[in-house]
Amino acid sequence: MKRAWMRAGALAALLLGAVVDDAAARTVRWAASGDPNTLDPHSQNVGTVTMVLQQIYEGLVTRNPDLSPAPGLATSWSQEEPTRWRFNLRQGVRFHGGEPFTAEDVVFSFVRAQQPTSNFGIFVDTIDRAVAVDERTVDIITKVPDPILPNKIISVYMMSKPWSEANNAARPQNTRAREETHTVRNTNGTGPFRLAAREPDVRTVMARNDAWWGWQQQQQGEGPRGNVTEIVYRPVASDATRIAALLSGEVDFVLDPPLQDLNRLRSASGTKVLEGPEVRSLYIVFDTFRDELLYSDVKGRNPFKDLRVRQALYHAIDIQAIHRTTMRGQSVVTGTLFPEQVNGYVREEDVRLPYDQARARALLAEAGYPNGFSVTLDCSNNRYINDEQICQAITAMWARVGVRTSLKAQPIAPFFAQIQRDDTSVYMLGWGVPTLDALYSFQSLLASRGSAPGDGIWNYGRYSNERMDALIARMKTETGPARQAAIRDALRLYREDVPHIPLHHQMIPWAMRSNLSIPHAANNQPYFRWAVMN
Amino acid sequence: MAAAAARFFDSDLWWSFSRSPVAVLSAVVALLCIGGAVLAPWIAPQDPFDLATLNLSDAFKPPAWAEEGDAGFPLGSDDQGRDVLSAIMHGARVSLLVGVCAVLFSTLLGVSVGLTAGYLGGTADALLMRIADIQLTFPSILVALLVDGVVRAALPRETHDQIALFVVIFAIGISNWPQFARTVRGSTLVERNKEYVLAARVIGLSRLRIMLTHVLPNVLGPVLVIATLNLGFAILAEATLSFLGVGVPPTQPSLGTLIRIGNDFLMSGEWWITIFPGVALVAMVLSVNLLGDWLRDALNPRLR
């Protein structure tokens, strides 16, 4: 009797195994080092959150595989007046919970993204209000003409008004107050995948939403036809463990493989590496505001206010050595603020001050520091690719021209908290450009702080230059060649005034099993809607 | 002086030492390790702490005998162009310093507790020995982690970095004293009823004086053995803590720190960054332990 049961059990297990196997063939098991700290669509403008949410939620405008804007929940849009954009909504779309997608939801979502607890202000800063013209049309009224509005609102996801209100989540979760709302662990989007299970720091399971409008378009189109039925996301903090899991076939996709393992992953059978540039650049940023640096032995004056000192430290950096050794070739050396994918890029301004130690020493002597000085460089150690190693290398290079640099490398949470208090003398920052437009970088990093909303919000060196501010003001309102001229002039000024030392744009390798293909995205956010499992 | 040397070379200890190839070999290795560590600032090819001597284009050089090796970097270089041999010599310095200080600390603590407990007896004995028993039920690395964690939480980061070395010494030392205490107590119990102690008591010497001048010298033999064996343990414990990232601050890399940093590169082909510090650690600990073993046997009259 017992044996018969066991046999039946074995058979059942076998059958079940076969079924699971079939489904497993199109499950993508995905690993990366960090876990999203919330699933609220308007609470945290952070890459690890977006990379999961963009599988579930959509905005009015979405992206093509090359990141250019594409129709999302709006099928078309036009600038009716300088301050009024009209969006025609896609019909017949339903949220994962079954609610129909309406013009009211659009208005609600923009209001929600404008709340004080929202972290998405930079994307909606010019919006005065959204107005439902009728069931299928929404107008967005801006305070000033905003030529790049469609690019900006790609990041503003649409939520269901009745669902959010029923769950008491009409405003974004307040992460600073460690608030816990319904939207932190639950989602209700319109996108190609729905949330099936969520265990923070353990796993996040997303199942295919067969009703998504885009699947049909993919069938008719020329591009990749996504066939993934399930995504299982697991955070694996240890580099070695993540790579071992990929090599052993325990995961299919690793977003952030360590650079030193790329050669092994390339040559191993069953795995491949997909490489591409990322729209993220690294800079060294100086405190050019204080009259005396917080962390230096120079008293009574701020050496970084002297252009010659900033140029000297620029000349001292052997960027090719960092590119070759620390980054193992996985970087694009730059002399400008953002990479060429960003609208406004000017190749002639992408020129570095050459690596020249003698010149660096001469400039320091000329500025009155023949024996150098001491300073502390602040760095993150788990945010950008090899960030701590880059900083160590720079510390040594500066030491060689006489600037005795001590390094303070810490995890992102304390690092960001510290620089956001302006509690730094010089720091390394990485900066991505989600809008793919020059203004986003200029406004956040180089505008004088506080002159207008969003101006200088990441300008912790408090760089302030009237000419730069005037050019940024022109970028905000002008269009066409006049705007491009303002960007060009600003890039020239950036090169001449050295408020930062630009280092490089990151390359982002993605590692995956050979049977998976997915278009590489320069914002480091994979879209699994185009993933194909064989 | 010459007489003292002659007496030493005439002693049982030297006889036993010179007859044991293992002891001679491990003494040579230990001397090499210790000598290299102590003299590091003068004989190391490079000063790994002087950033101005580092050159990123020297990074990831394999050992000198490998195809792309460079004679300037006998054991290769790390990801910042630091000479691995120099890093090991300076790292061994930190490891040895922590190890020796931690052993001295636990010896001092353990011997005083054991001596007091054994000589006084009664309540003091019961109390001190129960504390030791409780301490023995915790794995020592756990105690060390606990101490380090508490100090880390209690002090701000800057202060902690400055005193990190002392914290590690304290953490390792405190987790290790009961061994000394128990051994010394055992010997003290035997010694205190011997006639020379009774005689000292009769002439009216104070208890402290008897303990320190009469009992202590006669219980120190086994302590020497334990201390030698414990030195290896303490060096390993420090390496473990540093490998876990809670030991000495990264500005003073010990062997454990070097192994941890090199570990990131182990699988990608740059094996020398982690293997050589590992080999140095094994050589140092093994030679010290073998010496300790030999000392134990040599001092044990029954094994002669």
Query: How does pLDDT run across B26-73, given as a tens digit for each residue?
Result: 999 999 999 999 999 999 888 888 888 888 888 888 998 888 888 889
Average pLDDT over every residue of A106-119: 92
Give chain B's count of helices (H) and strands (E).
14, 0
pLDDT digits (tens, 9 = 90+) for B80-120: 888 999 999 999 999 999 999 999 999 999 999 999 999 99
Average pLDDT over every residue of A270-293: 93
**Residue of chain B whose Cα is closest to the Cα of A258:** B264
Q: How far is CA A268 from CA A12, A145, A236, A247, B117, in A?
A: 36, 53, 21, 8, 63
B35 min Cα distance to partner chain A (Å):
29
B257 min Cα distance to partner chain A (Å):
15
Give A405's contacts in chain B (Cβ within 8 Å).
51
The CB density around residue A60, as the number of other CB atoms within 10 Å, is: 28
Where do the structural domains in chain B lie, given as residue ranges? Answer: 26-44+56-62+73-299
Confidence of residue B247 (pLDDT cuts 50, 70, 90): confident
Per mean pLDDT, which of A175-179, A229-233, A384-388, B257-261 is the most reliable?
Answer: A229-233
Distance CA A193, CA A208 (A): 4
CB A207 within 8 A of CB A194: yes
CB–CB contact A393 B57 (8 Å)? no
Average pLDDT over every residue of A138-144: 93
Give B52's contacts in chain A (Cβ within 8 Å).
396, 399-400
CB B81 within 8 A of CB B54: yes
Could you tell me which of A215, A218, A245 has the C-alpha nearest to residue A233?
Answer: A245
Q: Is the pLDDT of residue B141 over 50?
A: yes
Confidence of residue B303 (pLDDT cuts 50, 70, 90): low
CB–CB contact B264 A260 (8 Å)? yes
Confidence of residue A12 (pLDDT cuts 50, 70, 90): low
Instruction: Show which residues on chain B lie within 8 Å of chain A, measured between beta carbons.
Output: 50-52, 54-57, 59-60, 79-81, 263-265, 267-270
B211 min Cα distance to partner chain A (Å):
51
CB A39 within 8 A of CB A185: yes
CB–CB contact A326 B52 (8 Å)? no
Give the model's pLDDT for residue A1. Answer: 45
Q: Is the pLDDT of residue B10 over 50?
A: yes
Give the model's pLDDT for residue B46. Answer: 87
Distance CA A229, CA A25 (A): 9
Strand partners, A134: A137
Average pLDDT over every residue of B241-262: 83
Please tell me which residue, A130 or A9, carries the higher pLDDT value.
A130
Q: Residues near B164 by Cβ (< 8 Å), separated by ≥ 6?
A: B247, B248, B249
Please tell me which residue, A85 or A522, carries the higher pLDDT value.
A85
Q: Is the pLDDT of residue A17 over 70?
A: no
* Core vs surface per residue A76-115: b (16+ CB within 10 A) or e: ebebeeebebbbbbbeebebbeebebbbebbbbbbbbbbe
**Residue of chain B whose Cα is closest to the Cα of A401:** B52
Q: In chain B, what percentage of residues exceed pLDDT 90? A: 39
Strands A230-235 and A203-208, sheet pairing: antiparallel
Confidence of residue A336 (pLDDT cuts 50, 70, 90): very high
Average pLDDT over every residue of B183-198: 91
Give A264's contacts in chain B (Cβ within 8 Å).
267-269
Interface test with A, best of B51, B53, B61, B158 (most A CBs within 10 A): B51
Q: Residues near A157 by Cβ (< 8 Å), separated by ≥ 6?
A: A41, A42, A53, A57, A58, A59, A109, A189
- Mean pLDDT (chain A) is 90
Give B56's contacts in chain A (Cβ within 8 Å).
318, 321-322, 325-326, 393, 396-397
Among partner residues B51, B56, B265, which is closest to A321 by beta-carbon distance? B56
Give A397's contacts in chain B (Cβ within 8 Å).
56
* Core vs surface per residue A380-400: b (16+ CB within 10 A) or e: bbebbbbbbbbbbbbbbbbbb
Average pLDDT over every residue of A510-524: 92
Q: In chain A, what percentage of residues exceed pLDDT 90? A: 70
Confidence of residue A79 (pLDDT cuts 50, 70, 90): very high
Confidence of residue A21 (pLDDT cuts 50, 70, 90): very low
Q: How many CB pairs under 8 A join A and B?
A: 56
Interface test with B, best of A239, A392, A423 (most B CBs within 10 A): A392
CA dihedral for B151, B153, B159, B165, sign (positive or negative): positive
CB–CB contact A325 B52 (8 Å)? no
CB–CB contact B57 A321 (8 Å)? yes
Q: Chain centroid to CA B66: how far?
A: 34
Give the model's pLDDT for residue B304. Answer: 57
CATH tag for B26-44+56-62+73-299 (out of 3.90.110.10, 3.30.950.10, 1.10.3720.10, 3.40.50.2300): 1.10.3720.10
Q: Is the pLDDT of residue A300 over 80?
A: yes
CB–CB contact B52 A396 (8 Å)? yes
Determine which helix (DSSP H) or strand (DSSP E) holds B187, and give its type and residue range: helix B177-191
Quick one: tokens of A210?
């067969």
Among partner residues A240, A243, A326, which is closest to B56 by beta-carbon distance? A326
Could you tell me which of B95, B100, B107, B136 has the C-alpha nearest to residue B240?
Answer: B95
Give the model's pLDDT for residue A19. Answer: 43
Q: Residues near A118 by Cβ (< 8 Å), separated by ≥ 6?
A: A42, A43, A112, A124, A171, A172
Q: How far is CA B117 from CA A218, A362, B126, B130, B162, in A?
A: 83, 70, 8, 11, 36
Give B253's contacts in chain A (Cβ within 8 Å).
none
CB–CB contact B80 A389 (8 Å)? yes
Query: Minimum mean pLDDT among A96-105, A255-264, A442-451, B245-254: which range?
Result: B245-254
The answer to whether residue A243 neighbours chain B at the CB level (below 8 Å) is yes
Confidence of residue A18 (pLDDT cuts 50, 70, 90): very low
Strands A69-71 and A74-81, sheet pairing: unpaired
Give the model's pLDDT for residue A22. Answer: 44
Confidence of residue A252 (pLDDT cuts 50, 70, 90): very high
A400 min Cα distance to partner chain B (Å):
4
Confidence of residue B245 (pLDDT cuts 50, 70, 90): confident
CB A57 within 8 A of CB A158: yes
CB–CB contact A405 B51 (8 Å)? yes
Give the model's pLDDT for residue A4. Answer: 55
Q: Residue A319, CB half-sphere, CA atoms under 13 Å: how many?
A: 22
